[in-house]
């Protein structure tokens, strides 16, 4: 790696462990859910750290934490860099947390080395991204970008039947709040763990994301007839398991035929009555489809739904499908992406352009302001697990790239 | 129907309702489990009925109830006719019960019309067939034929943790019992509802069973790798759901290619972790295969297992299978089956030879003494359900055939 920037990777490791302590689980993971006690401790401890780093910290009305380093040009707009503070239940130490720490370490480094930037930089610890507590995700970035308002949360309850409003109030955050949506964001820069194994398998240190995929999710229900496994000859059967297996096989076989970057997953299946000696009356399965081009998603979904219809007619069974998620693909900013490429090439860091198959805050910002998303490798591609891990040297390389990136943008 | 025999079908209906009252459920079904209170009431009320019909009733050491009509030839051997008194949970009024009632009505008719038979006839209400309370089925017929001894039940417990021995003792039936196995059975004649829809669909009134199928049951486990549904490109996946769907599709498609009387069922499927956005690590499914010829079962099972092995190698995933049931096919007695055919042809009753795809007490007796099994239609093929139903005229026709059958054998 060719650069004059140097940071202490052990120090980065200490930051990771420090933040992971807020919500550390007995399995070695982290559970830090929106507005819970660990979330509060983490956000307020980060606020203190920002202060110590010479940033001007403040919380907005939904609990997003910002640490502001005022630019000398006194422009209105600010460069935002960070990620989310919340985790899934028993998640890892790196998902979201790394992006916040990387931003804080980077801005601190720049301030120490170069003093105040020309453009204002704000490190952000977004309050929520995972949707782990309430049935709503991207609450932090969604509030800043105006995608969500307080009306979107009033009717929501967590699994303990605590209302969203009550949870927010308990943190001293009013739901009848001042404007949280911002009009002064110049761009958003996020660094995140890959949560997949592509960088590791290809021995790359940095992934530069060109697109975040669109996601469509379906529930497919095959309705046959329940009958005795011994006394019903094959021609008399309406075997929902047989048809479901055919639909799943066809669907997943089609994926690689259509596009090498298309992915589809049948993650969940429920048969009824689900006993060995009864022909299942009903089999329900989910289908998760992702690609960064709407037309590919359209083509694939159209093709399999045509097949479902055809098989429904042929078999005399009902096949019902319901789409319950439709997230559009988002392109990252071309200028920022080119800058990232330029930097990693100059630094001679092994890198690749990537499509992000997972959702990120950068996806919400990407439709609102110029946005860049960088990945560092995930060991074994494991994420949302206590086993989530990224080597210290990879964490360090990511921060060095981020430092250089912010330096070019703000100084 | 050409016959001089006539019985009152309404009277048969009253018998069915009378027996169904012991264990009647709120859904309109019957729950009468081995050695429970309803079982006891049913068995002792039947004993009383047998007495009223002029039979000599007695219970054996495991609770099988016999009603004996002594033959004038004073031979040692007895013709046994009947079925089982127990039901599945919330089962129907006909499964088992019809065979007992039919036998009792038939023997009573013969005694009234012709007096004592030459050969001894015993009506039997077998204590257990379904395996609904303890993990053991065919306890009644298995005890009579010596397939089971008291040693087979000592370690068994029901879902309320009541031991088999305790349940039996509470009925006054000692487990340290006298010999229950009998050496004096001439033949066993059972009439039963079909529990399938073949007779109904083909508009036949009587099924004459030539074989009871052999059954093999397997659990198949496909072990892949759990990964993020978005961040794992298709070539990097070890998707256990995809492979399981292929194996199920192949298996069930093969059935009709191999033999028209072969049946196979995948009744149960469990995926892990079973969430929409995670590639399943493991999918486990059951496979139930039935046919009346061992060589067909061998060929089918051999073929699919070869395919499992091939796909396991191709996919780099583990496919494990375990066979946990291997019940051999049993042929019914040729002479008795021919006699049954002769009778239904003489009576001009629409009939067909059938393979029984379900297990019956006749299967246990069939390896021990000459055995015949007759079926009457099941409405819609429904069984093991409160909706189980057979028309009174069908019940009546079955009893008339049984009367003629017993008359030819015993008088």
Mutate to test the interface with A, among B228, B243, B314, B373 (most CBs of A within 10 A): B228
Cβ within 8 Å, pair A265-B277: yes
Sketch out chain A's domains with CATH numbers. 9-213+329-410 (3.40.630.10), 214-327 (3.30.70.360)
List the beta bridge partners of residue A291. A214
Cβ within 8 Å, pair A288-B277: yes
Mean of pLDDT values over A294-311: 98
What is the distance in angstroms between the Cα of B286 and the nearest Cα belonging to chain A?
6
What is the distance in angstroms between the Cα of B312 and the nearest Cα belonging to chain A?
16
pLDDT tier at A179 (50, 70, 90 boundaries)?
A: confident
Q: How many CB atoms lie within 10 A of CB A294?
A: 12
Distances (CA, A) of B88 to B32, B129, B133, B196, B197: 7, 9, 8, 16, 20
Measured between CB atoms, which of B241, B267, B280 is closest to A229?
Answer: B267
Q: Does residue A273 have a cis peptide bond before it, meaning omega lies within 30 degrees of 0?
A: yes
Cβ within 8 Å, pair B381-A227: yes
Pairwise CA distance, residues B46 & B125, whole Å: 8
The full DSSP string for A272-317 is: ES--TTEE-SEEEEEEEEEES-HHHHHHHHHHHHHHHHHHHHHHT-
Cβ within 8 Å, pair B267-A280: yes
Cβ within 8 Å, pair A231-B262: no
- Report the chain A residue with the minimal C-alpha distance to residue B359: A230
- For residue B258, pLDDT over 70 is answered with yes
Model pLDDT for residues A228-266, shown as the tens digit of each residue: 999 999 999 999 999 999 999 999 999 999 999 999 999
Quote the pLDDT of residue A172. Answer: 84
Is-contact A229 B291, C-beta < 8 A? no
Cβ within 8 Å, pair B230-A356: yes
- For residue A122, pLDDT over 80 is answered with yes
Q: Checking DSSP bridges between strand A371-376 and strand A206-212, what pairing results, if any? A: antiparallel
Q: Which residues of A touch B271 (CB under 8 A)?
A: 267-269
Mean of pLDDT values over B260-273: 96
Quote the pLDDT of residue A177. Answer: 54
List the beta bridge partners of residue B208. B353, B374
- Report the chain A residue with the minimal C-alpha distance to residue B198: A232
Quote the pLDDT of residue B149. Answer: 87
- Chain centre to alpha carbon of residue A215: 12
- Report the chain A residue with the minimal C-alpha distance to residue B284: A269
- Report the chain A residue with the minimal C-alpha distance to residue B282: A267
pLDDT tier at A332 (50, 70, 90 boundaries)?
A: very high
Cβ within 8 Å, pair A231-B194: yes
Pairwise CA distance, residues B27 & B246, whole Å: 39
Nearest one of B390, B411, B408, B398 to B105, comparing CA atoms = B398
List the beta bridge partners of residue B153. none
**pTM, full prediction:** 0.88
Cβ within 8 Å, pair B197-A255: no
Is-contact B287 B265, C-beta < 8 A? yes
Query: Any alpha helices (H) in A194-348, and if so which ranges?
Result: 198-201, 240-258, 294-315, 334-346
Distances (CA, A) of B40 to A22, A268, B44, B126, B170: 62, 45, 6, 12, 10
Q: What percent of chain B has pLDDT over 90?
A: 90
- Report the chain B residue with the minimal C-alpha distance to residue A268: B274
pLDDT tier at B177 (50, 70, 90 boundaries)?
A: low
Q: Which residues of B touch A229 (CB under 8 A)?
A: 263, 265, 267, 288, 290, 357
Nearest one of A166, A319, A175, A347 to A251, comparing CA atoms = A319
Q: CB under 8 Å to A21, separation ≥6 — which residues?
A: none
Measured between CB atoms, which of B246, B256, B357 is closest to A231?
Answer: B357
- Report the chain B residue with the minimal C-alpha distance to residue A380: B227
What is the count of residue pairs from A and B with beta carbons less than 8 Å apart?
207
Q: Which residues of B touch A213 (CB under 8 A)?
A: 230
pLDDT tier at A169 (50, 70, 90 boundaries)?
A: confident
Is-contact A71 A120, C-beta < 8 A? yes
- For residue B175, pLDDT over 70 is answered with no
Q: Which residues of B touch A266 (CB under 8 A)?
A: 241-242, 245, 280
List the beta bridge partners of residue A125. A65, A83
Measured between CB atoms, which of A235, A263, A267 is closest to B233?
Answer: A263
Helix, strand, coil percentages for chain A (3-state, nearest 5): 35, 25, 40
The ipTM estimated for the assembled molecules is 0.88
- For residue A340, pLDDT over 60 is answered with yes
Q: Which residues of B touch A233 (CB under 8 A)?
A: 196, 198, 260-261, 263
Pairwise CA distance, residues A51 & A249, whole Å: 56
Pairwise CA distance, residues A110 & B244, whole Å: 53
Mean of pLDDT values over B193-210: 97
Quote the pLDDT of residue B150. Answer: 80
Measured between CB atoms, which of A228, A249, A381 is closest to B231?
Answer: A381
Cβ within 8 Å, pair B383-A242: no
Q: Which residues of B touch A278 (CB under 8 A)?
A: 265, 267
What is the distance in angstroms between the Cα of A121 and the nearest Cα belonging to chain B?
30
Q: CB under 8 Å to B102, separation ≥6 — which residues?
A: B191, B395, B398, B399, B402
Length of chain B: 411
What is the distance in angstroms between the Cα of A369 and the nearest Cα belonging to chain B?
24
Pairwise CA distance, residues B271 & B286, whole Å: 12
Cβ within 8 Å, pair A231-B256: no
pLDDT tier at A150 (50, 70, 90 boundaries)?
A: confident
Measured between CB atoms, which of B262, B274, B357 is closest to A268?
Answer: B274
Cβ within 8 Å, pair A268-B276: yes
Cβ within 8 Å, pair A196-B230: yes
CB neighbour burial string for B217-254, b if at least 16 within 10 angstroms, e if fewer? bbbbbbbbbbbbbbbbbbebbbbbbbbbbbbbbbbbee
List the beta bridge partners of residue A220. A285, A321
Q: Which two tokens stand for residue A206?
A: 């940095």
Q: Which residues of B touch A234 (CB under 8 A)?
A: 255-256, 260, 262-263
Cβ within 8 Å, pair B267-A278: yes
Quote the pLDDT of residue A154. Answer: 81
Pairwise CA distance, residues A371 & A352, whole Å: 18
Q: Which residue has the higher pLDDT, B131 or A296?
A: A296
Nearest one of B321, B352, B367 to B214, comparing CA atoms = B367
- For residue A178, pLDDT over 80 is answered with no
Mutate to test the interface with A, among B92, B130, B267 (most CBs of A within 10 A): B267
What is the distance in angstroms between the Cα of B229 and the nearest Cα belonging to chain A?
6
């Amino acid at each position: 790696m060719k650069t004059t920037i140097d940071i202490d990777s052990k120090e980065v490791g200490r930051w990771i462990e420090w933040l992971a302590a807020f919500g550390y689980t007995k399995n070695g993971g982290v559970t830090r859910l929106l507005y819970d006690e660990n979330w509060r401790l983490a956000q307020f401890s980060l606020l203190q750290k920002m202060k110590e780093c010479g940033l001007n910290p403040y919380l907005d009305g939904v609990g997003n934490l910002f640490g502001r380093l005022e630019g000398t040009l006194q422009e209105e707009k600010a460069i935002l860099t960070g990620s989310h503070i919340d985790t899934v239940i028993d998640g890892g130490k790196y998902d979201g947390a790394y992006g916040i720490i990387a931003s804080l370490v980077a801005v601190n480094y720049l301030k120490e080395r170069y003093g105040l930037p020309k453009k204002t930089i704000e490190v952000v610890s977004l309050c929520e991204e995972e949707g782990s507590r309430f049935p709503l995700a991207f609450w932090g970035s969604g509030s800043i970008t105006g995608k969500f308002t307080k009306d979107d949360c009033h009717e929501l309850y967590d699994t303990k039947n605590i209302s969203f409003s009550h949870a927010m109030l308990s943190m001293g955050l009013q739901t009848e709040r001042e404007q949280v949506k911002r009009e002064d964001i110049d761009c958003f820069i996020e660094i995140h763990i890959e949560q997949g194994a592509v960088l590791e398998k290809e021995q790359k240190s940095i992934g530069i994301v060109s697109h975040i995929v669109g996601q469509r999710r379906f529930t497919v229900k095959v309705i046959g007839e329940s009958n005795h496994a011994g006394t019903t000859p094959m021609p008399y059967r309406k075997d929902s398991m047989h048809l479901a297996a055919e639909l799943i096989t066809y669907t997943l076989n089609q994926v690689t035929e259509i596009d090498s970057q298309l992915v589809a997953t049948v993650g969940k299946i429920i048969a009824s009555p689900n006993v060995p000696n009864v022909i299942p009356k009903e089999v329900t399965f989910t289908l998760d489809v992702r690609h960064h081009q709407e037309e590919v998603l359209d083509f694939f979904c159209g093709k399999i739904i045509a097949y479902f219809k055809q098989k429904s007619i042929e078999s005399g069974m009902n096949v019902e499908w319901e789409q319950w998620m439709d997230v559009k693909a988002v392109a990252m900013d071309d200028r920022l992406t080119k800058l990232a490429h330029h930097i990693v090439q100059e630094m001679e860091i092994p890198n690749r352009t990537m499509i992000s198959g997972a959702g990120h805050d950068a996806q919400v910002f990407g439709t609102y302001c110029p946005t860049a998303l960088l990945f560092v490798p995930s060991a074994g591609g494991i994420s949302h697990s206590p086993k989530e891990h990224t080597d210290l040297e990879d964490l360090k390389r990511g921060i060095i790239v981020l430092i250089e990136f912010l330096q070019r943008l703000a100084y």
